Amino acid sequence: GENVEQHPSTLSVQEGDSAVIKCTYSDSASNYFPWYKQELGKRPQLIIDIRSNVGEKKDQRIAVTLNKTAKHFSLHITETQPEDSAVYFCAASYSGGYQKVTFGTGTKLQVIP
């Protein structure tokens, strides 16, 4: 089955700096890669996703890059703000009638004001 590794497990940045979280996956059949943000005690919420036919996607301060050959993808947050503090999970899944999503281990991001 799919195995997703995520680094780092914790990340502290100063407000306004950039944050980068990296993930690798094992199953070359995976073709959908969502990123979720989970605040303490709340549900995971999708912040950005990328499909295997795209190398990069950007949404305001958030961007994701995908290298299919190397089987890794990364989340980039620029101009970080205190409200970006949360746990971020990368995930990988394979298309079909439903998604069997495998999550990474999570990165706890702390943005220091």
Partner 1 sequence: DTEVTQTPKHLVMGMTNKKSLKCEQHMGHRAMYWYKQKAKKPPELMFVYSYEKLSINESVPSRFSPECPNSSLLNLHLHALQPEDSALYLCASSQGQGKNTEAFFGQGTRLTVV
Binding site for partner 1 (CB under 8 A): 31-32, 34, 42-46, 49, 51, 89, 93-106
Residue placing its CB nearer to partner 1 in the complex, 51 or 61: 51
Residue placing its CB nearer to partner 1 in the complex, 96 or 113: 96
Catalogue the E-assigned strands of the chain: 4-7, 10-14, 19-25, 32-38, 45-51, 56-59, 62-67, 72-77, 86-92, 102-103, 107-112
Q: To the nearest whole angstrom, how small is the minimum distance from the Cβ of residue 70 to partner 1?
A: 21
Six-digit token string for 48:
């950005």
Is the CB of residue 71 less than 8 Å from the CB of residue 3?
A: no
Strands 107-112 and 10-14: parallel
Q: To the nearest whole angstrom, how small is the minimum distance from the Cβ of residue 62 to partner 1?
A: 15
Q: To the nearest whole angstrom, how small is the minimum distance from the Cβ of residue 111 to partner 1?
A: 19
Residue placing its CB nearer to partner 1 in the complex, 97 or 113: 97
